[in-house]
Structure 1
Amino acid sequence: MTCLLISSGNGPGECQQATGHVLTRMKEEAAEMGVTLDLVCRGGRNGPVSAVAVLSGARADDLAARWTGSLLWRCPSALRPRHKRKTWFVQVFRLPDAARGAAIDPRAVEMVAIRAGGPGGQHQNKTSSAIRARWGEYAVVVRAERSQHQNRRLALARLQALADADAAEAKATRDGQAHWLHHQVQRGDPVRVFDGPGFVERGQR
C-alpha cells in the first residue's frame, strides 16, 4: 500500500477548494487505473484542509507518482471575486511507513451488505456481496470479491490501513514533521496544472 498526504498548506479557502478538486480527480483516475483509493479528510470551511489517502493495487505507485509534488490550479476566486490572485497550490507528499494505528475490534465496525455493482452485468447487481464498513471517521466500500465473507475481511484490512496511515501523520505531527510538510507547499514548478472552475488539466480537453 502507498500512503499520501494531500495538503492545502494552510492556504486560504481557494486552496481548500483546489484540494477538493484534486481528491475528486484522484478518485476518477484511481477508478480508471484499477487502484483502490481510501481517504480520510480534514474538513475546512471551503473544502478539505488536508486528506490522507491509502492506495492499493498493482498500479498504486503509478498513481501516486502522477500526483506527488506541487499542483497548481489557475482560476479567479469565486470566494473573493475582486481578489487579484488567480493561482492556488496544493501539495501531495508520500507519508513515511505507517505507524500502527489503534487496533480495530471487528465487533465495533458497522458493516452493511450492499449490491456489488460495477462490472459484471445484471447478475452481479442482484447479489449483495459488497460491503460498506465504517469505524469512527473511517469508511470503506469493498467490492473486490464475490464472497461477502472475503469482502468483510478486506474491509477490516482497509480500515486498519486508513487508521495506520492516519497514525503516521499524527506521529509526524508529534515529531514536528507534518507541521513542516503542511508549510512546504511549493509555489513553483508544479507537476500538474489545472485551469478554470471545471478543473481542466492543462494540455487536455
Structure 2
Amino acid sequence: MKTKIIQITAGRGPVECCWVVAQVLKLFLEDIKNNGYTYSILQREKGFENGTLQSATIQVKGKELDLFIASWIGTIQWIGTSKFRKHHKRKNWFIGMYEVKQEQTIAIKEKDISFQAMRSSGPGGQNVNKVNSAVRATYHPTGDQVVVMDSRSQHQNKKTAIERLKEKVHQSQLSKLQQSLSDQWENHLNIQRGNPIRIFKGTDFKKKHKKQSYASNRQQLKKDLRNELKN
C-alpha cells in the first residue's frame, strides 16, 4: 500500500483562490473515496473569509496511487465571477496541487531497543522500591528514550516501554513531516498559470471537459492536418 501527501494551495492568490481551494478539497476527497482509497487531513489553514482555505494537506493511502494522483497534480483553474467582488472583471483564478516529499518512515525493530533496569520511585510503596522494576528503554537509531515504572513487574514495564517508545518515534516523524511541509511552503510562490491539469467553471463548480491524453492530441493533430490538406 502506498502513501502520498498532497498539498492544495492558493499561493499568494486573493480570496477567490482561497474559495477555489475549499471547493477543490471537497471534490478531491470525494474522488478519493470513489476510487476506494482512504485519506486523512493533516493540515488546514483557513482563509480570511468564511468557507475559504489558504491551503490544505491530505494524506492518501491505497494501491496503485500514482495514476490517480497524477490526474490531480498541477495547476487548477476556475473560470467564474467572483463571489466576493461582484463587479471585479477578472474571471480566471488559479490554485496549485503538489505532492509533498515525505521523510522516510522508520519501522521500529525491537532488536534496536536496549533496556536498563532502574529502582522505582514515587507512588507504589516500599515493596516497589525494594526491586529494580522500573525500565529505561532507548531506541538507538534515533536516540529516543522513555522511562516506565507503572508496574511492579519489570516484564510488564518493558512491554509498556516498547509501546510508548513506538509512539514517541512516531511523534518525531510527524514533527519532521510538519517541518517538511514548512520547507515546501515555497509552493505558494510558484503556481504556474499555463496548461492547467483541471478546469472548473461557474458558481456551481462544474468541471469543464478538457482532454489531456496523448491519444487525444494525436487525433487533433491528424484532424488539423486533414483540414490543411483540404485547403
* TM-score when normalising by structure 1: 0.62
Give identity over the alignment, percent: 26
1:60 and 1:41 map into 2 onto residues whose CA distance is: 22
Report the counterpart of residue 67 of structure 1 in structure 2: 72
2:46 and 2:12 map into 1 onto residues whose CA distance is: 12
Instruction: For 2:61, give the aligned amino acid.
Output: S
Instruction: For 2:99, give the aligned amino acid.
Output: R
1:28 to 27, 30, 33: 30
Report the counterpart of residue 182 of structure 1 in structure 2: 188
Q: 1:89 to 1:189 in 2, by over 3 A?
A: same
Q: 1:172 to 1:51 in 2, by over 3 A?
A: closer
CA positional deviation for 1:58: 1.4
Matches within 5 A, 1:39-188: 39=41, 40-46=43-49, 47-98=52-103, 164=174, 167-171=176-180, 173=182, 177-188=183-194
Runs (5+) with no aligned partner, structure 1: 101-156
Q: 1:45 to 1:99 in 2, by over 3 A?
A: farther
C-alpha RMSD over aligned residues: 2.7
CA positional deviation for 1:80: 0.4
CA positional deviation for 1:66: 1.3
- Checking the alignment, whether the CA contact within 8 Å between 1:72 and 1:87 is kept in structure 2 is yes
CA positional deviation for 1:167: 4.2
Q: Deviations over 1:64-118 (max 9, x none)?
A: 1111000001110010011111111110111112377xxxxxxxxxxxxxxxxxx
- Checking the alignment, whether the CA contact within 8 Å between 2:6 and 2:100 is kept in structure 1 is yes
- Checking the alignment, whether the CA contact within 8 Å between 1:70 and 1:190 is kept in structure 2 is yes
- Checking the alignment, whether the CA contact within 8 Å between 2:37 and 2:60 is kept in structure 1 is yes
Q: Secondary structure at the match of 1:56?
A: strand
Q: Deviations over 1:112-143 (max 9, x none)?
A: xxxxxxxxxxxxxxxxxxxxxxxxxxxxxxxx
Q: 1:29 to 1:172 in 2, by over 3 A?
A: closer
CA positional deviation for 1:168: 2.9
Instruction: For 2:92, give the aligned amino acid.
Output: T
Question: Whose radius of gyration is greater, 1 or 2?
Answer: 2
CA positional deviation for 1:45: 1.5
Number of residue-to-residue matches in the alignment: 143
* TM-score when normalising by structure 2: 0.56
Q: Secondary structure at the match of 2:95?
A: strand
Runs (5+) with no aligned partner, structure 2: 106-166, 211-231
1:179 and 1:99 map into 2 onto residues whose CA distance is: 19
Q: Secondary structure at the match of 1:67?
A: coil
Q: Secondary structure at the match of 2:25?
A: helix
- Checking the alignment, whether the CA contact within 8 Å between 1:7 and 1:182 is kept in structure 2 is yes
Instruction: For 2:177, give the aligned amino acid.
Output: A
Instruction: For 2:30, give the aligned amino acid.
Output: E
